[in-house]
Structure formats: structure tokens, C-alpha cells
Amino acid sequence: MSCYKYWGKIEEIANALSSYGDLDKYGDSALDNVDINDIVKHLDEVEVIAHDKTIDFDSAKHILDDEKMNKALKLIRKFYVYIGSRLETENALKILDSDNPDETLDSFHFYDRYIGLIENESQLVKFNSEKTFVFIGSGPLPLTLIMFNRIFKCKCIGIELQEDVVDLSRKVLKRLGLDEDIKIILGDENSIKDIEYDILMVAALAEPKERVFANIWELVNEKTPVLYRTYTGMRAILYSPVTEKDTRGFHKEVMVLPTGNTNNTSVLIRKIV
């Protein structure tokens, strides 16, 4: 089916989102007083488009590569990042105040999607109690690390750039009783040079992609499994996908496409020497 039927709708959604404030000028503070549900309802409309199975990859490129659509997609992607961060932060703060922190974690807006994502990624690499897993870009609510530890009992390490995010995620882990098995480090991808690990993963929102993967290439060996999350097909309207240029120097071994409401495609690569 033609993707052109969505062009008008995408522009309409972008115009609606732009009415909430200028993120370029004011940053996240432009949305401090906006009800999160008002923004979520617009992004839910975007996800309906992103999950349209009748649009193949080639057709999706007509939207993703079109200059006219670029402005609208740029704005939608900024709000998508903002909403993800805000939802994670709000759930993290609720966990700290909760009488039942595990139940509060399970109520996270995207929790069910992570279940499918973890299942996909466990097909790419063998996770177990003898493995140490490092995740670059673990966020304020380190749900990926929590789920891999819970399900596979592997030791987990998250790396985050922002000190306040590191502090919040550490408090969440302590509240959940997971601070012995999951550690959060302040730093960027270069921090892996000081860590012993078996499996490395790059978050979908880790930026800038080209620099991140270039530095990883310098620090890993050819046997180390490197996973990354990206967006493919129409789901790439939600966020810019990882490109072949970003991962040059690596060999793509296999990828698993998302199913259901999961948005991320998971990819396994290894360094070429």
C-alpha cells in the first residue's frame, strides 16, 4: 500500500505537537506544564502509522527520504525522545516513593514492549549468570538491565552521560534491591576500556551514532558481540535509524525485526579486523 496516504496526517501531527512549545529554543522546559497524556495521544497516532504492516521498507523510504517531510519528522522525533525520557523519569520517581516498587516498575507504560524486545535479543546472544552485560545509554529507568538480570541472572552495567540520570537510576536499583547485581557508571562509550564484560549493547537513542560506534570499534575485539537497537521500515519515523556509515568496520551478523507494539529492531555486529 502507498505510504503517501500518511503524508498529510504526519504533517497534521507535527503541527499539533509544535503548538506545545519550541524544544529547540526552550528545551524540555517548554513542556513542563503540559499534561503528558496530551502529547502521548499524538504520538500514539504516529505509532499507528509506524506499525502499518502494509507499508514495505521501500515505500517507507519515500517518507523518510523526502525533504518536505523532513521538518515534520524532525519535530516528531524530538517529542518521541522527550516522552520516553519523561515517562522513564516519572516511573523512576514513583518507584522511590512506592510501597511496592516492583509493582510500580511493572506499571511502566512500555513494560510489555520490553518483554518482546528482550526475547528478541536473547536470540542473538546467549545471556546467562556467567556473562557480564554492558548497556551504553541505560537511562533514568534502567529497565533493559533490570530485565536481563531478572530473566538471565547476568551481571549488568549501565553507562550514562548525565550525572542526575546516573544518580536517579542508582536510587531506583537500590530501592528494587538490585544495586549489587546492576551497576551504573557515569561516562560515555569510552568507559568500556576500564570494564570487563562479555556482551555490549548500544541504546537506540545513544548519540552521536557515528562517534559511538567508531570509539567502540577501537576498544572491542573481533569476538565481542555488539548489539544495537535501531528503527527500520515505517518505525524509523519515530527516530533516525543507525546507518551503514555509522557501523563501518563492523560485520552485521543477524538482526531481528520487531513484532507487535515493539518498536526496536535488534542487530548483532562484530568488529572486522
pLDDT tens for each residue of 106-143: 999 999 999 999 999 999 999 999 999 999 999 999 99
**Pairwise CA distance, residues 172 & 165, whole Å:** 11
- For residue 123, give its domain range: 111-271
Does 20 or 156 have the greater pLDDT score? Answer: 156
pLDDT at 56: 85
Residues 6+ apart with CB under 8 A from 84: 110, 205
- Domain co-membership, 78 together with 193: no
Instruction: With a cut of 80, say whether residue 24 has pLDDT above it.
Output: no
Q: Domain boundary residue among 47, 78, 103?
A: 103
- Phi, psi for residue 229 in degrees, rounded to 5: -105, 140
182 and 217 both lie in a single domain: yes
Residue 135 and residue 248 share a domain = yes
Q: Is the pLDDT of residue 154 over 80?
A: yes
Q: Is the pLDDT of residue 2 over 80?
A: no
Helix (H, G, I), strand (E, B) or coil at 252: strand
pLDDT value at residue 138: 98
**Mean pLDDT of the 50-56 span:** 90
Same domain, yes or no: 221 and 130: yes
Q: Is it the case that residue 1 has pLDDT exceeding 90?
A: no
Per-residue b/e over 205-240, b at no fewer than 16 CB within 10 Å? bbeebeebbebbbebbeeebbbbbbbbbbbbbbbbb
Q: Find the mean pLDDT for residues 246-251.
A: 98
135 and 229 inside one domain: yes
Amino acid 31: pLDDT: 85
> Do residues 41 and 155 both lie within one domain?
no
Do 30 and 99 sit in the same domain of this protein?
Answer: yes
pTM of the model: 0.94
* Domain stops at, among 87, 103, 119: 103
In the chain, alpha helices (H): 7-18, 23-26, 36-50, 57-64, 67-97, 101-106, 111-121, 143-152, 163-175, 209-219
- Written as nine digits, the cell of 125 is 546472544
Tell me the pairing of strands 265-271 and 226-230: antiparallel
Is residue 3 predicted with pLDDT exceeding 70? no
The phi and psi torsions of 171 (rounded to 5 degrees) equal -65, -40
Q: Residue 184: enclosing H or E segment and its boundaries?
A: strand 182-186
**The three three-digit cell numbers of residue 71, written as one number:** 521538518
pLDDT-derived band at 85 (thresholds 50, 70, 90) equals: very high
User: 27-52 pLDDT, tens per residue?
Assistant: 677 787 889 999 999 999 999 999 99
180 vs 116: CA distance, rounded Å: 26
212-240 pLDDT, tens digit each: 999 999 999 999 999 999 999 999 999 99
- Summarised one tens digit per residue, pLDDT across range 160-192 is 999 999 999 999 999 999 999 999 999 999 999
* 143 and 164 housed in the same domain: yes
Q: What pLDDT is recorded for position 60?
A: 87
Total domains in the chain come to: 2
pLDDT at 88 exceeding the cut of 80: yes
- Same domain, yes or no, for 246 and 116? yes
229: which residues sit within 8 A by CB, 6+ positions away? 117, 201, 202, 203, 204, 264, 265, 266, 267
Q: Which of 103, 123, 147 is the last residue of a domain?
A: 103
For residues 118 and 218, state if they share a domain.
Answer: yes
List, in sequence order, every residue forming a beta bridge with 186; answer none if it has no partner: 160
Residue 207's pLDDT is: 96
For the chain, what's the residue count? Answer: 273
Query: Residues 185, 157: contact at Cβ < 8 Å?
Result: yes
CATH for 86: 3.40.50.150
Domain match, 74 and 125 both: no
Which residues have a Cβ under 8 Å from the Cβ of 65 and sit 6 or more positions away?
Answer: none
Decide: 271 and 249 in contact? Cβ < 8 Å. yes
The overall average pLDDT reported for the chain is: 94
Whether residues 169 and 85 fall in one domain: no
Partners of 226 in the β-ladder: 200, 269
